[in-house]
Amino acid sequence: MFLYSEYFYSKTINELFSERQSLAEMLRFEGALALAQAENGIISQQSAEIIDNCCRVDFIDLDKLKSEIKLGGNAAIPLVKQLTRIVKNNDVEASKYVHLGATSQDVVDTATVLQMQEYWYWLNNKLVELLALLTATTHKHRQTLMIGRTLLQQARPITLGLKTAGWLQSIERTKERMKNTQKRVLVIQLGGAVGSGNSNLSKAVQQSLADILDLKPSFSWQSNRDNLVEAASVFGLLNQSLGKIAKDVSLMMQTEVGEVFEGAGEGKGGSSTMPHKRNPVTCAAILANANRIPNLVATMFAAMPQEHERSAGLWHSEWEVLSEIMMLTAGSIERSIELIEGLEVDEKRMLQNLELTKGLIYAENVSLALAKKIGKINAHELVEKACKLAISQQKHLKEVLEEMNLDIENLDELFKPENSIGNSLEIIDEILEIIK
Amino acid sequence: MFLYSEYFYSKTINELFSERQSLAEMLRFEGALALAQAENGIISQQSAEIIDNCCRVDFIDLDKLKSEIKLGGNAAIPLVKQLTRIVKNNDVEASKYVHLGATSQDVVDTATVLQMQEYWYWLNNKLVELLALLTATTHKHRQTLMIGRTLLQQARPITLGLKTAGWLQSIERTKERMKNTQKRVLVIQLGGAVGSGNSNLSKAVQQSLADILDLKPSFSWQSNRDNLVEAASVFGLLNQSLGKIAKDVSLMMQTEVGEVFEGAGEGKGGSSTMPHKRNPVTCAAILANANRIPNLVATMFAAMPQEHERSAGLWHSEWEVLSEIMMLTAGSIERSIELIEGLEVDEKRMLQNLELTKGLIYAENVSLALAKKIGKINAHELVEKACKLAISQQKHLKEVLEEMNLDIENLDELFKPENSIGNSLEIIDEILEIIK
Amino acid sequence: MFLYSEYFYSKTINELFSERQSLAEMLRFEGALALAQAENGIISQQSAEIIDNCCRVDFIDLDKLKSEIKLGGNAAIPLVKQLTRIVKNNDVEASKYVHLGATSQDVVDTATVLQMQEYWYWLNNKLVELLALLTATTHKHRQTLMIGRTLLQQARPITLGLKTAGWLQSIERTKERMKNTQKRVLVIQLGGAVGSGNSNLSKAVQQSLADILDLKPSFSWQSNRDNLVEAASVFGLLNQSLGKIAKDVSLMMQTEVGEVFEGAGEGKGGSSTMPHKRNPVTCAAILANANRIPNLVATMFAAMPQEHERSAGLWHSEWEVLSEIMMLTAGSIERSIELIEGLEVDEKRMLQNLELTKGLIYAENVSLALAKKIGKINAHELVEKACKLAISQQKHLKEVLEEMNLDIENLDELFKPENSIGNSLEIIDEILEIIK
Amino acid sequence: MFLYSEYFYSKTINELFSERQSLAEMLRFEGALALAQAENGIISQQSAEIIDNCCRVDFIDLDKLKSEIKLGGNAAIPLVKQLTRIVKNNDVEASKYVHLGATSQDVVDTATVLQMQEYWYWLNNKLVELLALLTATTHKHRQTLMIGRTLLQQARPITLGLKTAGWLQSIERTKERMKNTQKRVLVIQLGGAVGSGNSNLSKAVQQSLADILDLKPSFSWQSNRDNLVEAASVFGLLNQSLGKIAKDVSLMMQTEVGEVFEGAGEGKGGSSTMPHKRNPVTCAAILANANRIPNLVATMFAAMPQEHERSAGLWHSEWEVLSEIMMLTAGSIERSIELIEGLEVDEKRMLQNLELTKGLIYAENVSLALAKKIGKINAHELVEKACKLAISQQKHLKEVLEEMNLDIENLDELFKPENSIGNSLEIIDEILEIIK
Q: For residue D423, what are the contacts with CB-CB under 8 A and spacing of at least 6? A: C196, C197, C198, C201, C202, C203
Indicate which residue of B28, B142, B156, B310 is catalytic: B310
More confidently predicted of D264 and A129: A129
For D69, nearest residue in chain B (alpha carbons): B7
Question: In angstroms, what separates the C-alpha of D51 from chain C's closest C-alpha?
Answer: 14
- Phi, psi at B399, each rounded to 5°: -60, -50
Q: Are strands C344-345 and D145-150 parallel, antiparallel or unpaired?
A: unpaired
Three-class secondary structure of residue A153 per DSSP: strand
d(CA A373, CA B94): 13
Which residues from chain C sit within 8 angstroms of residue A272, using beta carbons?
72, 76-77, 80, 99, 103-104
Which whole number is the average pLDDT over D384-401?
90
Three-class secondary structure of residue B325 per DSSP: helix
Q: Are strands B145-150 and A344-345 parallel, antiparallel or unpaired?
A: unpaired
ipTM topping 0.90: yes
Spatial CA neighbour of C164 closest among C356, C353, C424: C424
D-contacting residues in B 282-321 (Cβ below 8 Å): 282-292, 294-296, 298-299, 302-303, 312-314, 316-317, 319-321
The phi-psi region of residue D405 (left if phi > 0; otherwise alpha if psi is between -120 and 50; otherwise beta) is left
A-contacting residues in D 76-95 (Cβ below 8 Å): none
Three-class secondary structure of residue A158 per DSSP: strand
Arithmetic mean of pLDDT over chain B: 94
Chains that touch A (3 or more CB pairs under 8 A): B, C, D
Candidate from D80, D288, D298 with C-beta closest to B295 = D298
Arithmetic mean of pLDDT over chain D: 94
Say if residues C308 and D152 touch (Cβ distance below 8 Å): yes
Residue type, B70: K
Which range scores top for mean pLDDT: A328-332, A410-414, C66-70, D409-413? A328-332
Which whole number is the average pLDDT over C310-329?
98
Q: What is the pLDDT, as a whole number, of residue A408?
A: 85
Candidate from A67, A68, A250 with C-beta closest to C312 = A250
Instruction: Convert the pLDDT of each residue in A191-204 to its tens digit.
Output: 999 999 999 999 99
Per-residue CA distances from B187 to A427, B24, B112, D61 (Å): 16, 18, 10, 43
Say if residues C428 and C142 touch (Cβ distance below 8 Å): yes
More confidently predicted of D88 and D374: D88
Indicate which residue of D5, D18, D196, D271 is catalytic: D271
Q: How far from chain centre, in Å, is Cα B175?
A: 10
Which whole number is the average pLDDT over C255-276?
77
Interface test with B, best of D292, D300, D338 (most B CBs within 10 A): D292
Residue B193 near chain D (CB below 8 Å): yes
A-contacting residues in B 24-63 (Cβ below 8 Å): none
Residue C272 pLDDT > 60, yes or no? no
Q: How far from chain centre, in Å, is Cα C3?
A: 22
Residue D272 pLDDT > 60, yes or no? no
Say if residues D266 and A353 touch (Cβ distance below 8 Å): no
Residue C423 near chain D (CB below 8 Å): yes
Give the number of beta-carbon pairs within 8 Å between A and D: 125
d(CA C106, CA C108): 6
Instruction: Convert the pLDDT of each residue in A154-210 to its tens digit.
Output: 999 999 999 999 999 999 999 999 999 999 999 999 999 999 999 999 999 999 999
- The answer to whether C255 contacts B298, with C-beta atoms less than 8 Å apart, is no
Which whole number is the average pLDDT over D191-198?
94
For D251, nearest residue in chain A (alpha carbons): A152
Q: Which residues pair with C147 in a beta bridge?
A: C157
User: Which of B334-338, B394-398, D117-121 is predicted with the least confidence, judged by mean pLDDT?
Assistant: B394-398
d(CA A369, CA A365): 6
pLDDT band with cut points at 50, 70 and 90 for residue B409: confident
User: SS3 helix, strand, coil % of chain D, rounded to 5?
Assistant: 65, 5, 30
Candidate from B197, B295, B430 with C-beta closest to A422 = B197
Class of residue D266 by CB neighbours under 10 A (exposed 0-12, middle 13-18, buried 19+): exposed
* Torsion on CA atoms C119, C120, C125, C131, rounded to nearest 10: 120
The residues of A annotated with a catalytic role in the active site are 271, 310
The CA angle D225-D231-D234, to the nearest 5 degrees, is 140
Neighbours of A353 (CB within 10 A): 23
Say if residues A122 and A330 touch (Cβ distance below 8 Å): yes
More confidently predicted of B326 and B265: B326
More confidently predicted of B388 and B421: B421
Residue A407 pLDDT > 90, yes or no? no
Question: In angstroms, what separates the C-alpha of D43 from chain C's closest C-alpha?
Answer: 11
For A248-275, b where at least 16 C-beta lie within 10 A, e where not — what string? bbbbbbbbbbbbbbbeeeeebbbbbbbb
Say if residues C178 and C124 touch (Cβ distance below 8 Å): yes
Neighbours of B348 (CB within 10 A): 10
Give the number of beta-carbon pairs within 8 Å between B and D: 208
d(CA A190, CA A203): 10
d(CA D419, CA C193): 15
More confidently predicted of B427 and A375: B427
For D310, nearest residue in chain C (alpha carbons): C150
Instruction: Convert the pLDDT of each residue in D200-237 to its tens digit.
Output: 999 999 999 999 999 999 999 999 999 999 999 999 99
| Sign of the alpha-carbon torsion through D179, D181, D182, D183 | positive
Q: What is the pLDDT, as a whole number, of residue B116?
A: 98
Q: Are strands D344-345 and D260-261 parallel, antiparallel or unpaired?
A: antiparallel
Which residues from chain B sit within 8 angstroms of residue A311, using beta carbons?
151
Candidate from B223, B299, B301 with C-beta closest to A236 = B301
d(CA D312, CA D337): 40
Which whole number is the average pLDDT over B403-424?
91
Say if residues D290 and C305 touch (Cβ distance below 8 Å): yes
Residue B211 pLDDT > 90, yes or no? yes
Q: What is the pLDDT, as a whole number, of residue B274?
A: 65
Indicate which residue of C310, C311, C335, C420 is catalytic: C310
Residue type, D250: S
Residue B375 pLDDT > 80, yes or no? no
Candidate from B276, B361, B387 with C-beta closest to C357 = B276
Residue B201 near chain C (CB below 8 Å): no
Q: For residue C301, what are the contacts with CB-CB under 8 A and spacing of at least 6? A: C229, D236, D237, D240, D293, D294, D297, D298
- The answer to whether A149 contacts D255, with C-beta atoms less than 8 Å apart, is yes
Q: What is the pLDDT, as a whole number, of residue A248?
A: 98
Say if residues D107 and D187 touch (Cβ distance below 8 Å): no
Say if residues C156 and C270 touch (Cβ distance below 8 Å): no
Residue A1 pLDDT > 60, yes or no? no
Q: Which residues pair with A325 in a beta bridge?
A: none
Instruction: Convert the pLDDT of each residue in B256-275 to its tens digit.
Output: 999 999 997 766 766 555 65
- The answer to whether D219 contacts C174, with C-beta atoms less than 8 Å apart, is no
Three-class secondary structure of residue D419 per DSSP: helix
Chains that touch C (3 or more CB pairs under 8 A): A, B, D
Say if residues C146 and C259 touch (Cβ distance below 8 Å): yes
Residue C352 near chain B (CB below 8 Å): no
Q: What is the pLDDT, as a whole number, of residue A388?
A: 85
| Sign of the alpha-carbon torsion through B134, B136, B139, B145 | negative
For B290, nearest residue in chain A (alpha carbons): A302
In this prediction, what percent of chain C has a pLDDT beyond 70? Answer: 97
Arithmetic mean of pLDDT over chain C: 94
Interface test with B, best of C240, C248, C273, C276 (most B CBs within 10 A): C276
- The answer to whether A256 contacts D356, with C-beta atoms less than 8 Å apart, is yes
Residue type, C321: V
For A250, nearest residue in chain D (alpha carbons): D152
Q: Are strands B344-345 and C145-150 parallel, antiparallel or unpaired?
A: unpaired
Residue B92 pLDDT > 90, yes or no? yes
Q: What is the pLDDT, as a whole number, of residue C275?
A: 59
D-contacting residues in A 232-291 (Cβ below 8 Å): 250-251, 253-257, 270-271, 273-281, 284
Instruction: Convert the pLDDT of each residue in D298-321 to its tens digit.
Output: 999 999 999 999 999 999 999 999
Three-class secondary structure of residue C262 per DSSP: coil
d(CA B338, CA C168): 40
Q: What is the pLDDT, as a whole number, of residue C363?
A: 87
pLDDT band with cut points at 50, 70 and 90 for residue C374: confident
Say if residues A4 and A28 touch (Cβ distance below 8 Å): no
Per-residue CA distances from B47 to B25, B40, B110 (Å): 20, 13, 22
Q: Is B310 a catalytic residue?
A: yes
Q: What is the pLDDT, as a whole number, of residue A274?
A: 65
Spatial CA neighbour of A34 closest among A217, A209, A214: A209
DSSP state of A55: -
DSSP letters for B41-81? TSS-HHHHHHHHHH--GGGS-HHHHHHHHHHHSSSHHHHHH
In this prediction, what percent of chain B has a pLDDT beyond 90? Answer: 86
